Amino acid sequence: MSSDVGFPDPLRRPEPADPQAWMQRQLFDRRIVQLSGRLDDRSANDVGVALMTLDATGDQAVQLHIDSGEGTIDAALTLIDIIDLLGVPVHAYCRGQVAGPAIGVAATCAHRTASPHARLRLFEPEATVEGDARQLQQLASAQVERWAAYCARLARATGQPPERIADDAAAGRYFSADEAVAYGLLDEVATPDAKLYRLRGPSIGFGRR
């Protein structure tokens, strides 16, 4: 006779938990997506799929938490296109470092917030191309066009002229959170009374239970 009636087997060791996966699931359930580390084709695809999934499963805004200091223009344009086409608003929250292509992603969102000590930097990432002379010319021309499209979209999001965006990127301009608000990259700086989300699950630590 089977003894499987829903009670745990005391002799069976539980499967090891994956804290990272658990945290991602908790955030996803609260319609929060994270973009952290290098913004490349893989991360843009992962974030894009998550955003589109949340768009298809609810009407509430999605929060995109960003901490990315490098990446590619192609990956940024991919995410920008997805955000522009979503049926729900995306609210960006910038924390840590947001620099290079990721700034365009943040600026495109419907509402842009940053932590008080977030660091933002506008710059054009370097592109490595290989091939013969004709291929190099074609690739270089395509890169110029993509960079122009990126600057134009960032200009539309900030209200700055595209020429100023390009000049500031060439200079590698740094912004504090308050300076980014004045420039049009952000809407506000988070305050100490910002809403926090308590995650369900067992407590972690050595304090009294």
**CATH at residue 178:** 3.90.226.10
Give the per-residue pLDDT at 160.
97
For residue 178, being part of any structural domain is answered with: yes
DSSP state of 128: -
Domain assignment present for residue 122? The answer is: yes
Q: Is residue 140 part of a domain?
A: yes
Q: Within a domain: residue 2? A: no
- pLDDT above 80: residue 18: no
Number of domains in the chain: 1
Structure-model confidence comparison of residues 138 and 198, the more confident one: 138
81's enclosing H/E stretch is helix 73-85
Query: CA-to-CA distance for 185 and 166, rounded, in angstroms?
Result: 14
The rounded distance, in Å, linking the Cα atoms of 35 and 155 is 22
Element (H, E) at 62: strand 62-68
pLDDT above 60 (res 13): no
Q: What's the DSSP call for residue 124?
A: P
Q: Please check the confidence at residue 138 and state whether its pLDDT lies above 90.
A: no
In a domain, residue 80? The reply is: yes
Contact between 80 and 153 under an 8 Å Cβ cutoff? The reply is: yes
What is the arithmetic mean of pLDDT over 53-73?
94
Name which residue leads in pLDDT, 199 or 49. Answer: 49
Sequence-distant (≥ 6) Cβ neighbours of residue 71 within 8 angstroms: 38, 39, 40, 43, 100, 101, 102, 125
Q: In this structure, is residue 100 part of a structural domain? A: yes
b or e along 101-114 (b: 16 or more beta carbons within 10 Å of the residue's beta carbon)?
A: bbbbbbbbbeebbb
Could you list the residue range(s) of the whole structural domain that residue 123 is in?
Answer: 19-189
Whole-prediction pTM: 0.78
* Amino acid residing at 78: T
pLDDT in tens, 160-206: 999 999 999 999 999 999 999 999 999 999 987 655 444 444 444 43
Residue 41 has pLDDT above 80, yes or no: yes
Is residue 61 one of the residues assigned to a domain?
A: yes
pLDDT digits (tens, 9 = 90+) for 65-122: 999 999 999 999 999 999 999 999 999 999 999 999 999 999 999 999 999 999 999 9
Does some domain include residue 26?
yes
